[in-house]
Structure 1
Amino acid sequence: MGLSANLAQFSLLIAVNALIGGTLGQERTVLPLLAERTFHLIGYTFLLTYVLAFGITKAATNYLAGHWADRFGRKPVLVAGWLIALPVPLMLIWAPNWGWVVAANVLLGINQGLTWSTTVIMNIDLAGAARRGRMMGLIEAAGYSGLALTAMATGHLAARYGLRPTPFLLGAAYIIVGLGLSVSVVRETMEHTRLEAAQHKPRADGRHDHLHAELTHRQIFTHTSLREPALSAASQAGLVNNLKDGLAWGLFPILFAAAGLSVSGIGMLAALYPAVWGIGQLFTGALSDRWGRKRLITVGMLTQAGALSLIALADTFAVWGVAAALLGAGTALVYPILLAVIGDVAHPAWRARAVGVYRLWRDGGFAVGAIVSGLVADRWGLRAAVWAVAAITTASGLIVAARMYETHTRPDQSAAEQTP
């Protein structure tokens, strides 16, 4: 187990996850503009139906991916996810009405739920406990760097060649390459999980003694969602993080366009936030292995809230650029570390299913964000929607500070240090 023993597979999974992120990034800049300029949609709530469809589908598929990964193996689930994605770019290119776009996002949600969840689970399988934060940072950084670069690239392609079809051809290429790599080179990782389960040692403070290997599906869901303090705090923080991302995905391009920004300028802002997020995770995951998880998550949620407040106040490219970078930095402090928390607490025997439950709640945030931000924007305007999400994000950070305990323990820690 660990990086040195599995360097080839780590590198491959990082490349595959970059392609997964790029598959999602093909929509990031172009689709909100397509909704407004090609389909002439009226009302922000209706416009955000594609985010809602994506979020609900991805959240449900995340849960199933964890269960299926334990039942059928990791690799078959990964390959199935890529096969589901094959029609998506073509549907977006040829969509005669908005219903086609929503249907494409249902398929995209299934693709992202199966592929991204599986690469995360496989990465956790290979990583071992000592450097779990670093490995989560690497895999998530790859995905969101791919998303950011693709969002920027599609913005430039759309400015030069139009909103369709050229930007979506890039996504089609990602899907073909990702499927080929997953079928031919990726290998199964379940044996690593069995090895870790055989070597599993309980915490010195006894906190996880009730989280044994024989939990039922219902108990895993209940512990991850509500009962276990660290798991449930991580789940709500993940939901709020993606609630914010649903707002950024669906409404930020329209907010920037209303201020007179060009398509390429909107693409740069749409890319800056996930770019900082992606690159930042290279450092924040490893930092959590050294400093612990809880403090960084709390700071990250509050930083996101401050960045959203700045976006609501600003009206120039420069200030929005600073705010987007802060939003990315705050997200980088949260995103991979929440997954590391799940890996810290969940027993190896049911960890994949716990990851599925966590990602169910986390990506359910896309749907909640689409509903909340759409309704608020329709009633009170775009900036009011940003303010509302900033307030929710602040509350989430305070919940983490109050409820989560430190989950990362080192061999040199005493039992007293491990107790919150």
Structure 2
Amino acid sequence: MIARLRARLGAVPPALVTIVSILFLNNVAVAAARALLPIYIERDLGMPPAFTSLLVSLETVMGGLISVIAGALADRLGHRLVLVIGILGFSAGLLQYLTGVPWLLVALAVVLGLAHGMRSTSGQSYLLTASSRQSVGVATAAYFLGGTIGMSASSAVAGPVVERFGFAAYALVGLGLNLVPAAITLRYLRDVRPERPAGGADRGTWNVLMRREVWLMGALRFSSTAFWGIWSLALPLLMFRATASVLPPALLYGTVGMSLAAVSQFLVGHWSDRAGRTVPTYVVLGLQLVLALVAALAWQSTPVLMMTGIAGVVTGWTMSVLVLGVVRDRTAPLEHGRVVGFVHALWSFGILAGTVVAGTLIDIDPGLPLAIGALANLVSLAIAAALFHGGRLPATDAS
């Protein structure tokens, strides 16, 4: 299996190498800004964590609201233009470190959210258009891995720079670095927009998004991401409370979990390329259901928190690969941008809903948000059954 996976990776088209490299470089330049924002707001500006929460929530909502529009623009104008706008828009996250004016911070959060929606939608829809049904799982895993490595590199560089030179110096360096992926996109990213079939007409955004399978894909993305929103807030916090140390959440949940998730994404992506998305999706959602139930019943056990926490990171990231594969299988090439935008919007609202649920309920009863996470996975399994039971929309490409 590993040999076949290597052969498949060796056959990845240059367009996929380019888009993964662009995402990596963009994340190197800007990704640490999100993680450092609470420290900057509290330490340097003397504002409460609630203000940071407002900025992050506003960014998430704006990213969801712009996604469908960004997808429609990508389908009509090409992915490259929308992607460049998104990449440059991420500079707003760095500009936040050059001002302490509250209304400017809010305005920049709006711009950052719009940029996030545009980059995610155009980048992911480009990925689907540039890959085939037989390679989209592995290609998606490579796409997310490039972003993850970029985030890690960004954090590794940003910390020492901030400690020695301050937030303003970090922001200026990041602004300069962020011009590199934008320039590469303009110069080297080849638009791979599919040609319209002779006599074919665009179904229109409304007609595309009103199809049953599109709503089911969006619902699957929302419910599975709501679980991830709960998990990514509750598990690190419960680990910290159980051990009174930041090392278990950072080292085990973050580093070990993300490393295993990268391996899992490639293996499950390869599996889904060969066997289809149905069985892998059921397996991953079933595992998440079991993990959530175990954590909800035994959250007072530190070893249980460690094991379920790491496993939840693996399954949560793996679901992203599977959902994009489902979108690739069940939409025509000329619809990828709009459907990816719709699904990304539901991702944004799902992560927001899960985070709010976990933050509200964890101090009432730590097992309660985890039980709701289990319920979210039950709902996801029901949605997946309804989606896979229906017929597949035949795509217009032969790949």
| TM-score when normalising by structure 1 | 0.75
What is the CA-CA distance between 1:264 and the residue it aligns to? Answer: 5.5
Please give the alpha-carbon distance, in whole angstroms, between the structure 2 residues aligned to 1:170 and 1:261.
35
Give identity over the alignment, percent. 19
Change (3 A) 1:324 1:160: farther
Q: Which runs of 5+ in 1 are unaligned?
A: 200-211, 411-420
The residue aligned with 1:360 is: 345
The residue aligned with 1:239 is: 222
Please give the alpha-carbon distance, in whole angstroms, between the structure 2 residues aligned to 1:36 and 1:316.
32
1:222-269 residue CA offsets vs partner (Å, 9 max, x unmatched): 11xxx22xx333222211233234345555554444445545654333
Please give the alpha-carbon distance, in whole angstroms, between the structure 2 residues aligned to 1:403 and 1:171.
42
The residue aligned with 1:8 is: 14
1:37-62 residue CA offsets vs partner (Å, 9 max, x unmatched): 7757477xx76434422221111222
Out of 49, 61, 68, the residue aligned to residue 56 of structure 1 is: 61
Q: Which moved more, 1:308-317 or 1:359-368?
A: 308-317
Amino acid of the structure 2 residue aligned with 1:217: T
Out of 270, 276, 282, the residue aligned to residue 298 of structure 1 is: 282
What is the CA-CA distance between 1:120 and the residue it aligns to? Answer: 1.6
1:183 counterpart = 2:186: yes
Out of 296, 312, 320, the residue aligned to residue 335 of structure 1 is: 320
SS at match of 1:189: coil
The residue aligned with 2:397 is: none
The residue aligned with 1:322 is: 307
SS at match of 2:338: helix
Please give the alpha-carbon distance, in whole angstroms, between the structure 2 residues aligned to 1:163 and 1:261.
28
Task: Say if 1:155 and 1:266, in contact at 8 Å, map to a contact too.
Answer: no
Amino acid of the structure 2 residue aligned with 1:136: T
1:278-315 residue CA offsets vs partner (Å, 9 max, x unmatched): 34222222211111101111221232343445555446
Out of 83, 96, 119, the residue aligned to residue 78 of structure 1 is: 83
SS at match of 2:333: coil
Please give the alpha-carbon distance, in whole angstroms, between the structure 2 residues aligned to 1:13 and 1:77.
13
What is the CA-CA distance between 1:114 and the residue it aligns to? Answer: 1.2
Please give the alpha-carbon distance, in whole angstroms, between the structure 2 residues aligned to 1:168 and 1:244.
33
Amino acid of the structure 2 residue aligned with 1:241: S
The residue aligned with 1:121 is: 125
The residue aligned with 2:206 is: 218
RMSD: 3.9
Please give the alpha-carbon distance, in whole angstroms, between the structure 2 residues aligned to 1:175 and 1:337.
30
Please give the alpha-carbon distance, in whole angstroms, between the structure 2 residues aligned to 1:171 and 1:259.
36
Change (3 A) 1:253 1:331: closer
1:140 counterpart = 2:122: no
The residue aligned with 2:262 is: 278
1:371 counterpart = 2:356: yes
SS at match of 1:187: coil
Change (3 A) 1:349 1:388: same
Q: Which runs of 5+ in 2 are unaligned?
A: 1-7, 395-399
Please give the alpha-carbon distance, in whole angstroms, between the structure 2 residues aligned to 1:218 and 1:302.
33
Please give the alpha-carbon distance, in whole angstroms, between the structure 1 residues aligned to 2:288 and 2:391.
22
1:316-340 residue CA offsets vs partner (Å, 9 max, x unmatched): 8765443333113212432122112
Task: Say if 2:231 and 2:312, in contact at 8 Å, map to a contact too.
Answer: no
Out of 331, 336, 343, the residue aligned to residue 346 of structure 1 is: 331
Amino acid of the structure 1 residue aligned with 2:141: G
